[in-house]
Structure 1
Amino acid sequence: MATSDALRYTRIPLTHGSGAIPAVGFGTLIPDPVATRQATKTALEVGFRHLDCAERYRNEDAVGDAMQSAFKAGAIRRGDIFVTTKLWNTNHRPERVRPAFDASCRRLQVDYVDCYLIHTPFAFQPGDEQDPRDERGKVIYDSGVTLAETWQALERLVDDGRCRSIGLSDVTLEKVREIVAVARIKPAAVQVESHPYLPEWDLLEFCREHGIVLLAFAALGHGLDPKLVDDPVITDIAGRVHKTPAQVALAWAVQRGTAFLTTSTKPEYIRQNFAISTLPEDAMREIREDIRTNVRFNAVVASGVPGFIPRAG
């Protein structure tokens, strides 16, 4: 087992891609570009080496600025950072995939991306409007493209060398099975909401069988009610191991073999979220067996509309 201080530096080798993904990741879903730039800069200074981005977040340029600032300071090189970004729903048609990927690279100011994910398995009407709606306010979906066709376009990005691995996001186990069955290049990672209130054990087992990394977003429940960090099982363990409840939940994520993402604009929380330590086995068992709450905070898997991203702006 890793020593307590080593847990935060865990890297998971990619079976279906090159390199290894840092298990401790920083999510960049932060609405304000100035806050994004500062939080990303702080995350890199603290020790985060995985940045999770997306075209849909509309702040890739701010993340790119923060990375360039770190590179110029000389402490970090591009090869030290694992950069993930995502193809948005309006760009699922194969002819739109490469231009969308190239645009993300330009905004992020990188020559390559370590992992490129299909943001959701739902195709929206192609175009510049990221949230296309009809006159009744309903999402306009695109029935002219299949998920498999979009996946094949991502495979071609890997063939060209500027995309080192590809994966899926906001998907159900059924959708992951569907792609694994037809893929020439298998998903390297699958990003889904997961935390002690939504452990996704079946999906994790499937991912293990197929050499896929499960990457957990909303690893702390996104601060929504019921609050994961107030759960008595978590708080009791936190008191025993002298860590915060958040650190307990994040350590649990790494120790069970997943990678996680956490987001904050507060330097104190960014530091704490990185400073995780190995939990004793009895704590891991308690989290699995004694927590009875089961809740999904983000309904994106049912509609393709992210619950944490405001429609406006």
Structure 2
Amino acid sequence: MHPSNSFQDTKIPLVHGTGAIPAVGFGTLIRDPVAAKEAVKVALEAGFRHLDCAELYSNEDVVGHAMREAFEAGTVQRKDLFVTTKLWNNNHRPERVSPALEASLGRLQLDYLDCYLIHTPFAFQPGDEQYPNDEHGQPIYDSGVTLMETWRAMERLVDEGKCRSIGLSDIRLEKVKEIVAAARIKPAVVQVECHPYLPEWELLEFCQQHGIVLLAFAPLGHGMEPKITDDPLINAIARRVDKTPAQVALAWAVQRGSALLTTSTNPDRIRQNFDISPLPDDAMQEIRNGIATSVRFNAVVETGVPGFVPQVG
């Protein structure tokens, strides 16, 4: 699946889609538009060929401009880039799915997506508000649509050639199983929080059994406490293999068969996070057996409200 000395060119074939997804991806959840545009350009120059976006991030237009400039500069061609974006919770009604994708394509300045994900399995009240709340500040959910109905609309997007694969995000294994059992076009990708403190072994095993790519977001725990990069075991391995703790945690993710997303606005860190290579087998076993810390940093799987994305308005 990967060359012996680097994970930079590792791709995972999409059994339920077209092509293959680069295992090392760059997440675009960067609030400052100037910083976001520059970070995407640096990431593409460093070699990243997988960009993860979302309507919710409110910067698809910024990412689109960065990609366009990279195309025009000859840094990368569209055919070599894997671009994902996501359907937000207020657009789960089937009649809203295609317009939402078209709007994302317009902002990204693209003709098609490589992958379109349902951002969370929670449907919010349809409308223009991303976070419709009641008088108590609680989300207003939409009981008039099921996740399966939204999925059927996603399948039609593949039929129409608007996206080459579809998938799920911020979701628990039980819900993934429901969709896999009933879907005509199976999920190609399932994106969830995943790192050495939340390894999601059962979900990973299910995904691999069904040809689904598990895509790990927050593979470094989003820098939150307890910090994965401060973990004594990961630091000991990093010293042993002459890599940073971050590089060890990222390599662990790819080596176990998942893809990952890493985000930074620091050019040196962007390049460093792309420069990852296989770990010794004993290091992989140490991480699996020797880390007892168990933490979920983002409660989005409980409510549909992402913990890492500041609410606007």
Contact 2:2–2:9 (Cα < 8 Å) also in 1 = no
TM-score, L = length of structure 2: 0.99
Is 2:141 the partner of 1:131?
Answer: no
Cα distance in structure 1, aligned partners of 2:7 and 2:62: 29
Q: Secondary structure at the match of 1:122?
A: coil
Q: Secondary structure at the match of 1:286?
A: helix
Q: Which runs of 5+ in 2 are unaligned?
A: none
Equivalent in the alignment of 1:148: 148
Contact 2:198–2:294 (Cα < 8 Å) also in 1 = yes
Is 2:272 the partner of 1:272?
Answer: yes
- The alignment of Structure 1 onto Structure 2 pairs a total of residues equal to 313
Cα distance in structure 2, aligned partners of 1:207 and 1:80: 25
- Name the aligned partner's letter for residue 74 of structure 2: G
Is 2:57 the partner of 1:20?
Answer: no
Cα distance in structure 2, aligned partners of 1:185 and 1:230: 41
Q: Secondary structure at the match of 1:84?
A: strand
Cα distance in structure 2, aligned partners of 1:75 and 1:139: 42
Q: Which runs of 5+ in 1 are unaligned?
A: none
Query: Structure 1 residue 291: deviation in Å?
Result: 0.5
Q: Secondary structure at the match of 1:76?
A: coil
Cα distance in structure 2, aligned partners of 1:274 and 1:122: 33
Is 2:287 the partner of 1:287?
Answer: yes
Equivalent in the alignment of 2:5: 5
- Name the aligned partner's letter for residue 107 of structure 2: R
Cα distance in structure 2, aligned partners of 1:243 and 1:8: 15
Q: Secondary structure at the match of 1:9?
A: coil
Query: Structure 1 residue 4: deviation in Å?
Result: 4.5
Equivalent in the alignment of 2:51: 51
Identity over the aligned pairs, expressed in percent? 73
Cα distance in structure 1, aligned partners of 2:223 and 2:4: 26
Cα distance in structure 1, aligned partners of 2:5 and 2:104: 34
Query: Structure 1 residue 211: deviation in Å?
Result: 0.5
Equivalent in the alignment of 2:228: 228
Equivalent in the alignment of 2:87: 87
Cα distance in structure 2, aligned partners of 1:262 and 1:3: 21
Equivalent in the alignment of 2:111: 111
Equivalent in the alignment of 2:179: 179
Give deviations 1:277-307, integer Å, cap 9, x for gaps: 1111010010000001010000000000000
Give deviations 1:35-77, integer Å, cap 9, x for gaps: 1101000000000000000000000000000000000001310
Cα distance in structure 1, aligned partners of 2:55 and 2:2: 35
Q: Secondary structure at the match of 1:8?
A: coil
Cα distance in structure 1, aligned partners of 2:162 and 2:99: 13
Cα distance in structure 2, aligned partners of 1:2 and 1:14: 15
Equivalent in the alignment of 2:202: 202
Query: Quick one: structure 1 residues 4 and 242, their matched pair in 2 at CA, closer, same or farther if it must change by over 3 Å?
Result: farther
Cα distance in structure 1, aligned partners of 2:169 and 2:37: 24
Equivalent in the alignment of 2:250: 250
